Amino acid sequence: MANPDPAAVNSMFGRIAARYDLANRTLSGGFDLWWRRRLVRGVVRQHPELVVDLATGSGDVALALRKKLPSSTRVLGLDFCEPMLEEARRKAPSAEACGPLEFAWGDILELPLEDDACDVITIAFGLRNLADRHRGLCEMMRVLRPGGTLLILEFTQPARWFRPFYYAYLRHVLPRVAGWISGDRDAYEYLNNTIGAFPDKAGITAELEKAGFRDIRAVGMTASIVALHQGRA
């Protein structure tokens, strides 16, 4: 599969922004909430002062981080799709009472952050949409302080016994149901294709190593359809 086109990805997420959360809950059977909780727990253990959530989308991870981290911790969510950021800002008031929270425009391939700026970076279900993953990972390395932590929550290749069921779901069920919920079946055909073509845990581990990360761990969840990767700058 060719690398994703940024303009097409931006347009696609803009079209489905208003129904994105409902589609996620439905298509994952609610498991996406559990996956994100695992990610948030990993961040809390780092005791960060600044966390940046990339490809923040409708803000689910950033909002969950804000509620679980101390009020002294700053949480910044970045995305390059304005309709998704509008959804995140609409949901933000209840979390802002817990401490500093900001949503802003930002392209992962050219992050609007200084070198060594943050303690933790998170990215949930956004890595596979990058036009250049290596460049994106190098940008993450640049803005993390030495010893800082990157946590990636992303689809991966499932356990072998589960693959026939999973791929049948991706190809035949997911686009139909998602199209009905969101009104945009083409968007979820794209997501289906990116999931199926994405590297497995070993492949992403190798990409992280190439970008300079160390102490890399990958944990599969739910028959390994999703993995939580962690690495240090």
Can you give the residue ranges of every domain in the chain? Answer: 6-160+200-232
Top pLDDT among 19 and 45 is at 45
What is the per-residue pLDDT for 13? Answer: 83
Segment holding 38, helix H or strand E:
helix 31-44
What is the per-residue pLDDT for 173? Answer: 84
For residue 191, pLDDT over 80 is answered with: no
Question: Is the Cβ–Cβ distance between 80 and 10 less than 8 Å?
Answer: yes
Top pLDDT among 63 and 182 is at 63
For residue 166, pLDDT over 90 is answered with: no
Percent of the chain surpassing pLDDT 70 = 99
2 pLDDT tier (thresholds 50, 70, 90): low
16 pLDDT tier (thresholds 50, 70, 90): confident
Percent of the chain surpassing pLDDT 90 = 66
Fold of 6-160+200-232: Rossmann fold (3.40.50)
Task: Give CA–CA dist 174/56, Å, rounded.
Answer: 22
For residue 24, pLDDT over 70 is answered with: yes
Helix and strand element counts for the chain (H, E): 11, 7
Contacts by 39-45, CB closer than 8 A, 24 or more apart: 39/122, 39/124, 39/151, 39/153, 39/228, 40/64, 40/65, 40/68, 42/149, 42/151, 42/228, 42/230, 43/68, 43/69, 43/120, 43/122, 43/149, 43/151, 44/68, 44/69
Q: Is 70 exposed, middle or buried (0-12, 13-18, 19+ CB in 10 A)?
A: exposed
Average pLDDT over residues 125-151: 97
Task: Give CA–CA dist 95/73, Å, rounded.
Answer: 13
For residue 1, pLDDT over 70 is answered with: no
Segment holding 78, helix H or strand E:
strand 74-79
Q: Which of 65, 202, 201 is nearest to 123 (CA)?
A: 65
58 phi/psi in degrees, rounded to 5? -80, 5
Q: For residue 130, give the DSSP letter.
A: -
Mean pLDDT value across the chain: 91
Average pLDDT over residues 15-19: 80
Q: Under 8 Å CB-to-CB from 209, ≥6 apart: which residues?
A: 216
Do you know the residue count of the chain?
233
Q: Which of 86, 36, 31, 105 is nearest to 66 (CA)?
A: 36
Residue reference for tokens 């909780």: 37
Could you read off the pLDDT of 37-87 as tens digits, one per residue?
999 999 999 999 999 999 999 999 999 999 999 999 999 999 999 999 999
Q: Under 8 Å CB-to-CB from 197, ≥6 apart: which residues?
A: 1
